[in-house]
Amino acid sequence: MDLVIHRAYKYRIYPTKAQVSNVENQFSMCRHLYNRSLAERTDAYEKDGTAVTYNQQQNSLPELKKERPWYKGVYSQVLQDVLRRLDKGYQAFFRKVGAGGKPGFPKFRKRGQWKSITYPQYRKRPDSVITVPKIGRVRLVCHRELPENARVKTLTITREAGKWFACFPAELPFTAEPEQNLTDPLGIDLGLIDFFYASDGSHVPVPRLLRKKEKQLGRLQRRLAKAEKRSEKYHKILKAVRKCHYRIKCRRSDFLHKTANDLLKKSGLIFYEDLRISDMIRRPRPKQDEDGKYLPNNASAKAGLNKSLADAGWGKFIEILNYKSRHLGKKTFAVPPQYTSQKCSACGEIVKKSLAVRTHRCACGFVANRDLNAALNILRIGMDTLQAPT
């Protein structure tokens, strides 16, 4: 059986004003169907403990269109995809409950929270103009060609910060590069001062993209809070807020991809810490004394740290690094993070130090940047793991 990979190709589209109004109406109807179907499921369970399935809700769509003719303005497969999204949310909820994790029950969508529609069986390739069911012919900027051997599976129309995009998920044959000689191994330590510090001494500063825009976002959000809800001024400021967040997102993505590319050009074998980022950005638990009075728990400082961790984008970077390495025939490995910063990479002694101490000094005479010391430990642990007999 031939292996395939899934990739999504995203293009900017320019719908007319009439098409924009049409798609926005479809967003509204999809949101209404989602909320109606969620209410149907929860009411049935609360009433007599029965579970409404995806097939039952899908089979009721023809009757629903007769009762509410405006649903006919939305392509039938788009409506089915809305029900499929809800069903996936339910499945994820019960899967997390079964695994003992923290479940997230599907929530009702507010106005403006539905920003995409999907055509599950769209097979046409992108061109300068694409034909979308129930929308018409839409102009598309085809800034890169889809590979000849790519098979388009679906089409998703999305809106981001006032811009419109067409996303074409496709299947391609998996043609990985032959595995290379894994020379020049590197250990990297991710941080909030330097985005990473490598075991060869190279390092890249954290771009702090959200922090640089905090003042601008603060001004816009204060103006938004003072504006009359749903007024023309309110929507104008809201558009500016979304545009600012969108720019931050694009710049962060660009930085992460370029940084991963530069690392993979230098090394064919990269080790990094297996960090549980979701646990690192949790809020501190409240503290109470014997009388039930709440005590200071350093929540304000932790909130600032959490914001910096989320701004850095470590999780996304590791994801990008892993999938790029597979296609290039290179390797990445996660190593346990315990004591990588405290242990001396020269002699192995534990040298305890707070986060504020940026220099590692050991009694053996070894002095180095604490992140470089950690990177050297990560490299050593990784190489020892690979060379250990299985």
In a domain, 379, yes or no: no
pLDDT, average across residues 29-39 = 95
**Is position 64 within any domain?**
yes
Q: What is the pLDDT of residue 248?
A: 95
Residue 345 resides in a domain: no
| pLDDT the model gives residue 63 | 93
Task: Check whether residue 127 and residue 11 sit in a common domain.
Answer: yes
Residue 94 covered by a domain: yes
Question: Considering the chain, what is the average pLDDT of its residues?
Answer: 90
Q: Are 278 and 309 in contact (CB under 8 A)?
A: no
pLDDT digits (tens, 9 = 90+) for 336-350: 988 888 899 888 889
The structure's pTM equals: 0.83
What mean pLDDT do residues 29-50 have? 93
Domain boundary among 288, 305, 329: 329
Shared-domain flag, residues 194 and 101: no
pLDDT confidence tier of residue 1, bands split at 50, 70 and 90: very low
Contacts of 132 (CB under 8 A, 6+ apart): 119, 138, 155, 157
Tokens of 109: 């969508």
Least reliable range by pLDDT among 86-90, 131-135, 385-389? 385-389
Does one domain contain both 148 and 266? no
The amino acid occupying position 207 is: P
Here the tokens at position 50 are 């029965």
The reply to whether 372 falls in a domain is no
Summarize the confidence of residues 46-56 as an average pLDDT: 90
> Where is the domain boundary, 173, 204, 230?
173
The range of the structural domain enclosing residue 324 comes to 186-329
- Among candidate residues 215, 275, 213, the one with its CA nearest the CA of residue 246: 213
- Work out the pLDDT band at 178, boundaries 50, 70, 90: low
How many separate domains does the chain show? 2
